[in-house]
Amino acid sequence: MNFELTEEQLMIQQAARDYAQRELIQDVLERDANATFPAKHVKALAELGFMGMMVDPKYNGGGMDTISYVLAMEELSKIDASMSVIVSVNNSLVCYGLDKYGDEFQKEKFLKPLASGEKIGAFLLSEPEAGSDATSQRTIAEDKGDHYLVNGTKNWITNANSASTYILIAQTDPAKKHKGITAFVLDKNSPGISLGPHEDKMGMRSSDTHSVMFTDVKVPKENRIGEEGFGFTFAMKILEGGRIGIAAQALGLASGALERAVAYAKERKAFGTAIANHQAIAFKLSDMAVKVENARNLCLKAAWLKDKGEAFGVASAMAKQYAADIAMEVTTEAVQIHGGYGYVKEYHVERLMREAKLTQIYEGTSEIQKIVISRSLLR
Amino acid sequence: MSILIYTENWDGKFKKVSFELASYAAALAEQTGKQAIAISLGEVENSELEKLGQYGIGKIVTAQDKRFATLDNKAITKAIAAAAKQVQAEVIILSHDNLGKAIAPRLAIRCNAGLVTAVTGLPESLNPFIVHKNVFTGKAIAHIKIEKEAKVLTLAYNSFGLNEKHSSVEITSFDPDLTDSDFSMEVLDTTKVTGKVLLNEADIVVSGGRGMKSADNWYLIEELAEELGAATACSRPVSDEGWRPHDEHVGQTGKIISPNLYFAFGISGAIQHLGGVSSSKVIVAVNKDPEAPIFEAADYGITGDALKVLPELIQAVKDTKNQ
Amino acid sequence: MKILVLIGNVPDTTTKIKFNADQTGIDTAGVQWIINPWDEFALTRAMELKEAYAGAISSVVVANVGSSQTEPTLRKALAVGADKAIRIDAEAKDAFFVATQLAQIAGEYELILAGIEASDYNGSAVGGMLAELLDRSSVSAVTGLDLKDDKLLVTREIDGGNQHLLCTTPLLAIVQKGIAKEVRIPAMRGIMMARTKPLEVVAPVESSYATSIQKLELPPTKAACKMVAEDNVKELVRLLKEEAKVL
């Protein structure tokens, strides 16, 4: 069993680390405070090839494996989870969806600019009334002969404003319930699309999140991904891949928090010695380290299975649920270890804690992950 | 058999490094029983050359060729090598400054000599010939043996000190026989940094970090530097923020300096910074945080706000001057 | 014009220094190897020049003297954009040896770039030695490099200021910080293509060493810091004057 990373994987990890530690760190606190979009970083990361890492080079992608993607996501998330969620949505929801299920026309028109990072994408599934229960879609796409007419509202959409391309999940046949759901790719600037105000979020504040309203939006037939009724399966399959990205993000939040906690514990003195020398703190760090190591192994295993072409849905559910839950624990503990300093923005750990919370909620709550895992056990 | 030193000149004048080099050579001459000779290239008056006599140099060969002003590395190497041959130099020593660093390696090849750069003291042994220097950016000391008969050394800044030793001076003229084609570089322009004390030569350096809070407070650093005749420096975050120019950044990836006295105001003392200043003779740290790592590297320290301590220090220095 | 960039393989600058058994070198177990930071700046500038003057610069090649252990570092250079890497298969024991090895392949490059020193042994020697072995002009402390017609516009730091020079090729430029704003992060495409680019291994020539390390040791530990009260700054001045004798 080989636990070693290849030279390329190490270089990719280093490149992500260098960019994060040199560039993202410069304005991350300011962007969190003001909820400003990291436009220049999106451009730079696109130029470096981080927006379409796993897409085939013939569609402008990097042709990299999922392990490399996990490594990059972890490094970016240690410093800036807002930036890494933008990268994750683009890579493992939107590009993945088009790469796996799009036809040649859709790949040429939509996948290419997304993979090169020239444009970014958003994935529209959640609705005001449909979060965990994605079977009850209220957004309707009516077949009008040569196009579909879409009406409805999607919410909590990451990249809603900055994206140029949307992948939309909508109901084409309400009678068929979840078998009547269909997936589409479309241009964000289509007439009839409007955005709600920017959500004022607890964390990942530098990424843009809006609700998206569709009023008689025309979507050409050729933009439908797969057959009518394929949408639910499509969404579930795509989320399996997306889960790995978020698991890696949660891993990065946890490992970033651990690194900061270790550094702080070595320097901070109390009762005559560095607090790292007090067992209470040392044991906390030990527990945190084991959790991070477990999360990393789960993420890499899921990525490895996906790269081998094997079923990875349960593995990615385990990775996502575990990594998100421990990210919440580890970041909270990191704040605790920092004491008063952990409570102020300057030391970053309070931000990591706020950001970790979302990883337990989006792209499938921890509870949903447990449904996936338990169902596979109890089949 | 002799020891030859290359004493550079700046517009016909020597600087402290020249006399340090002379002192070192005179000491080595005594250690080895050989004669210490200096070579000067370019237009330098006899009255200036004779200053080397104050530090134990008894013989100077000079090539008063104004073409040397372009600091052409190839030409200078040729000239020094020719002189070395003429005086049968077994050891050639240069300063570890910009020019010395550029010439020494070329010279070593040309004279078939072994080279050790930035040596920090006299050889600890002559046979075998062993010298020492700092390596791993100050984290370790290396004792290096030169295997070849001929030796080229560069002397690290501030590692020897000045030793007055009066000697009468014999100045002879020397023709290195260089043609115009030996000088292949065209100097377009030269901008001199005047007034400011140069960071790598300064005996005293006043440096500031993020604890100075903003560029607006730097006048305090500059004032103290002026009172002390010191150079100013800064930590990396300060130059990254644009509060100070990049050439003031001292640290592992910036300049590595070794002044007699280094003041660190509002600098935490990260390893990368310390790597640039750890060879300073004396380090004084002022930082609000008593746990700041800089205090582990410092010789003297004050726990306090740099912005409050600086004005008091400036006044205290002024007072001692007036005493 | 072809550019050759000399690449040193050095331990990561955050590595804790541990000596090997006989204290003549460092313990390489667990060491992370990187491109010597100054050589990385040189490579970045070479890439910038190639991109700016695609017609004039045909290739950027990197070279290193070392065992196969240095190949990952060379591939990093390929990932950043170098066209080819050359490894001369020998242990790099001292600068003279390294320069002699490089001399066998370096002559055909009109412009050779070298970082001013290596972060391990701080030698500042290989560049100058290679220039002399090739009998070509060299210029050091270079903080700026550009093409100007068929010549090179060089900015160098001299003691007391800066100079602009016009140099002809062949030239060896020894560069320092300032030569490039920041080191290039390799793009994903570059990383994936690194393995497809040529990495030539060349046999070494017979050569001796001019120097050898007899012993490495840690610097003497400093005495504890003497603290002075915040309201007693005068005392600090007195100590610096009378005790430390530095004022």
What are the pLDDT digits (tens) for C60-113?
999 999 999 999 999 999 999 999 999 999 999 899 999 999 999 999 999 999
pLDDT of A29 reads 95
| Among the partner residues C72, C187, C188, nearest to A7 by beta-carbon distance | C72
Token pair, residue B237, equals 């975050």
Place of tokens 């500031």: B208
A2 is a domain residue: no
C6 located within any domain: yes
Nearest CA in chain A to C194: A8
Residue C196 lies in a domain: yes
Residue A261 shares a structural domain with residue A244 = yes
Q: Note the pLDDT of residue B25.
A: 96
Distance from CA of B234 to the nearest CA of C (A): 16
| C246: in domain | no
Q: Are C154 and C144 in contact (CB under 8 A)?
A: yes
Tokens of C99: 């320069």
Whole-number pLDDT of residue A103: 97
Mapped onto helix, strand or coil, the DSSP state of residue C94 is coil
Does some domain include residue C95? yes
Q: Which residues of A touch C185 (CB under 8 A)?
A: 15, 18-19, 22, 48
Q: Using the beta-carbon criterion (under 8 Å), do A11 and C182 form an inter-chain contact? A: no
Query: Which of B271, B291, B294 to substitute to test the interface with A, most A CBs within 10 Å?
Result: B291
Q: Select the more confidently predicted residue: A50 or C12.
A: A50
Q: Among A150, A132, A85, which Cα is nearest to A236's?
A: A132
Mean pLDDT, chain C, rounded, equals 94
Query: What are A139-190's pLDDT values in tens digits?
Result: 999 999 999 999 999 999 999 999 999 999 999 999 999 999 999 999 999 9
> Do A80 and A191 reside in the same domain of the chain?
no
Q: Is B242 on the interface with A (CB under 8 A)?
A: no
Last residue of some domain: A120, A154, A181?
A: A120
Of A229, A257, A288, which closes a domain? A229
Q: How far is B109 from chain C (nearest CA, A)?
A: 6
Tens digits of residue pLDDT in B62-71: 999 999 999 9
Q: Active-site positions of A?
A: 363
Residue B240 is predicted with a pLDDT of 86
Q: For tokens 């394929």, what's the residue? A: A230
Two structure tokens written together for B112? 């078939």
pLDDT digit string, tens, across residues A83-125: 999 999 999 999 999 999 999 999 999 999 999 999 999 999 9
Of all residues in chain C, the percent with pLDDT exceeding 70 is 100
C198 touches chain A (CB under 8 A): no
Whole-angstrom Cα distance, residue A309 to residue B226?
69
Would you call B145 and C214 a contact, using CB atoms and an 8 Å cutoff?
A: yes
Contact B76, B186 (CB under 8 A): no
A9 to chain C: nearest residue by CA?
C191
- With an 8 Å Cβ cutoff, is B237 touching chain A? no
Percent of chain C with pLDDT over 90: 84
- Mean pLDDT, rounded, for B141-159: 93
pLDDT at residue B323, rounded to an integer = 65
Chain A nearest CA to B141, separation (Å):
27
Whether B192 contacts chain C with CB within 8 A: yes
Residues of C in contact with B185 (CB under 8 A): 137, 139, 165-167
User: CB distance from A268 to chain B under 8 Å?
Assistant: yes
Residues of C in Cβ contact (< 8 Å) with A15: 185-188, 191
Report yes or no on A269 lying in a domain. yes
Label residue A191 exposed, middle or buried (CB < 10 Å: 0-12, 13-18, 19+): exposed
Would the CB atoms of C185 and A64 count as touching at under 8 Å?
no
State whether A15 and C186 contact (CB < 8 Å): yes
Looking at the structure, do residues A237 and A156 belong to the same domain, yes or no? no
Q: What is the mean pLDDT of residues A61-75?
A: 97
Once rounded to an integer, what is the mean pLDDT over residues B87-95? Answer: 96
**Domain holding A150: CATH number?**
2.40.110.10
Contact B285 C225 (CB under 8 A): yes
CATH of the domain at A98: 1.10.540.10
Let me know if C68 is exposed, middle or buried by CB neighbors in 10 A (0-12, 13-18, 19+): exposed
Both A237 and A372 in a single domain? yes
Delimiting residues of CATH 3.40.50.1220 domain(s) in chain B: 204-322
Domain that holds residue C131: 2-219
The answer to whether position A366 is within a domain reads: yes
β-partners of residue A109 are: none
The upper half-sphere exposure of residue B10, i.e. CA atoms within 13 Å in the direction of its Cβ, equals 16
Over residues A3-15, the mean pLDDT reads 95
Going by pLDDT thresholds of 50, 70 and 90, the confidence category of residue A7 is very high
Confirm or reject contact between C195 and chain A (CB < 8 A). Answer: yes
Sorting pLDDT into bands at 50, 70 and 90, what band is C219?
confident
The per-residue b/e assignment along C209-232, b for 16 or more CB within 10 angstroms, e otherwise, is bbbebbebeeeeeeeebeebeeee
Q: Which residue has the higher pLDDT, A297 or B229?
A: A297
C182, C187, C194: residue with CB nearest A49: C187
| pLDDT above 70 (res B149) | yes
Instruction: Looking at the structure, tell me whether residues A98 and A131 fall in a common domain.
Output: no
Which residues, at least 6 apart from B85, have a Cβ–Cβ distance to it below 8 Å? Answer: B111
Token pair of A200 as six digits = 């004022």
Nearest chain C residue to A61, by CA = C189
List all chains that touch chain C, counting a touch as 3 or more CB pairs closer than 8 Å.
A, B
Q: Is residue C240 situated within a structural domain?
A: no
Same domain, A199 and A257: no
Which residue in chain A has the smallest CA separation from C186?
A: A15
Place of tokens 């704003």: C181
Of the three residues A212, A229, A246, the one that is the final residue of a domain is A229
Amino acid at position A153, single letter? T
Please name which of A250, A241, A253 lies closest in space to residue A316, comparing C-alpha atoms: A241
User: Is B293 close to A269, i.e. CB distance below 8 A?
Assistant: no
- A245 and A223 within one domain: no
* C-alpha distances out from residue C213 to A136, B135, C176, Å: 75, 11, 26
Given this model, what pLDDT does residue A130 score? 87
Is A324 within a domain?
A: yes
- Report the gap between the CA of A286 and the closest CA in chain B (Å): 24
Pick the CATH number of B2-182 from 3.30.420.40, 3.40.50.720, 3.40.50.620, 3.30.950.10: 3.40.50.620
Query: In three state form, how does the secondary structure of chain A look?
Result: CCCCCCHHHHHHHHHHHHHHHHHHHHHHHHHHHHCCCCHHHHHHHHHHCCCCCCCCHHHCCCCCCHHHHHHHHHHHHHHCHHHHHHHHHHHHHHHHHHHHHCCHHHHHHHHHHHHHCCCCEEEECCECCECCCCCCCCCEEEECCCEEEEEEEEEEEECCCCCCEEEEEEECCHHHHHHHEEEEEEECCCCCEEECCCCCCCCCCCCCEEEEEEEEEEEEHHHEECCCCCHHHHHHHHHHHHHHHHHHHHHHHHHHHHHHHHHHHHHCEECCEEHHHCHHHHHHHHHHHHHHHHHHHHHHHHHHHHHHCCCCHHHHHHHHHHHHHHHHHHHHHHHHHHHHHHHCHHHCHHHHHHHHHHHCCCCCCHHHHHHHHHHHHHC
Pinpoint the residues of chain B covered by CATH 3.40.50.620: 2-182
What's the confidence (pLDDT) of residue B198?
A: 83
Q: Which residues of A114-123 are buried (b: 16+ CB within 10 A; e: fewer)?
A: bbbbebbbbb
CB pairs under 8 A between B and C: 262
On the question of pLDDT at C31 being above 80, the answer is: yes
Alpha-carbon gap, residue B304 to C138, rounded angstroms: 49
Shared-domain flag, residues A215 and A261: no
**Is A108 in the same domain as A210?**
no
Q: Quick check: A63 contacting C, CB < 8 Å?
A: yes
Whether B293 sits inside 8 A of A268 (CB atoms) is no
| pLDDT given at position B185 | 87
Among B residues 291-320, those touching chain A with beta carbons less than 8 Å apart: 291, 293
What ipTM is given for this predicted complex? Answer: 0.92
Instruction: Check whether A335 has a pLDDT greater than 70.
Output: yes
Residues A237 and A368 grouped into a single domain: yes
Domain B204-322 has what CATH class?
Answer: alpha beta
CA distance linking residue C23 with residue A193, whole number of Å: 71
Q: Are C75 and C85 in contact (CB under 8 A)?
A: yes
Chain C nearest-CA residue for B320: C237
Q: What is the CATH number of the domain that holds C181?
A: 3.40.50.620
Query: pLDDT tens across B285-297, in order?
Result: 999 999 898 998 9
A257 is a domain residue = yes
Residue B195: pLDDT above 80?
no
Residues of A in contact with B291 (CB under 8 A): 267-269
Q: Is A267 on the interface with B (CB under 8 A)?
A: yes
C8 pLDDT more than 80: yes
Of A166, A164, A152, A156, the closest CA to residue A199 belongs to A156
From chain A, pick out residues whose CB is under 8 angstroms from the CB of C75: 7, 11
- The band of A319, judged by pLDDT with boundaries at 50, 70 and 90, is very high
Let me know whether A101 and A183 are in one domain: no
Give the pLDDT mean for C228-247.
89
Q: How far apart are the CA of C187 and the nearest CA of chain A, in angstroms?
A: 4
Whether chain A has a CB inside 8 Å of the CB on C165: the answer is no
Q: Which runs of E-coded beta strand occur in C99-247?
A: 111-115, 137-148, 151-158, 161-167, 171-175, 199-202, 211-217, 226-228
Is residue A1 included in any domain, yes or no? no
Chains A and C form CB pairs within 8 A to the count of 43
Residue C4, pLDDT > 70, answer: yes
CB contact under 8 A, C236 and B316: yes
Q: Can you name the residues that pair with B192 across neighbouring β-strands? A: C161
User: Which residues of chain A make contact with C74, given a CB cutoff of 8 A?
Assistant: none
The verdict on a CB contact (< 8 Å) between B299 and C129 is no
Residues of A within 8 A of C12 (CB-CB) are none
Minimum Cα–Cα distance from A263: chain B residue: B270
- Name beta bridge partners: A130: A127
3-state helix/strand/coil string of chain B: CEEEEECCCECCECCHHHHHHHHHHHHHHHHHCCEEEEEEECCCCHHHHHHHHHECCCEEEEECCHHHHHCCHHHHHHHHHHHHHHCCEEEEEEECCHHHHHHHHHHHHHCCEEEEEEECCCCCECCCCEEEEEECCCCEEEEEEECCCEEEEEECCCCCCCCCECCCCEEEECCCCCCHHHCCCEEEEEEECCCCCCCCCCCEEEEECHHHCCHHHHHHHHHHHHHHCCEEEECHHHHHHCCCCHHHEECCCCECCCCCEEEEECCCCCHHHHHHHCCCCEEEEEECCCCCCHHHHCCEEEECCHHHHHHHHHHHHHHHHHC
Instruction: Give the rounded distance of the alpha carbon of C203 from its chain centre.
Output: 22
Best CA proximity match to C240, nearest among B224, B81, A135: B224
Which tops the pLDDT comparison, C211 or B196? C211
pLDDT in tens, A233-242: 999 999 999 9
**Which chain C positions have a beta carbon within 8 Å of A49's beta carbon?**
187-189
Name chain B contacts of C155, Cβ cutoff 8 Å: none
pLDDT digits (tens, 9 = 90+) for A176-204: 999 999 999 999 999 999 999 999 999 99
Give the other-Cβ count within 10 Å of C72's Cβ: 15
**Inter-axis angle of helices B306-322 and B218-228, nearest 10:** 20
pLDDT for the residue B108: 97
Does residue A346 register a pLDDT over 90?
no
**Residue A65: which domain range?**
7-120
CA-based max dimension of chain C: 67
What confidence tens digit (pLDDT) does each residue in A252-291 have? Answer: 999 999 999 999 998 788 898 889 999 999 999 999 999 9
Regarding whether A25 and A112 lie in a shared domain, the answer is yes
Tell me how many domains chain C contains.
Answer: 1
- C184 to chain B nearest CA, in Å? 15
Domain count, chain A: 3
Q: Does A115 touch chain C (CB under 8 A)?
A: no
- The answer to whether the CB atoms of A15 and C188 lie below 8 A apart is yes
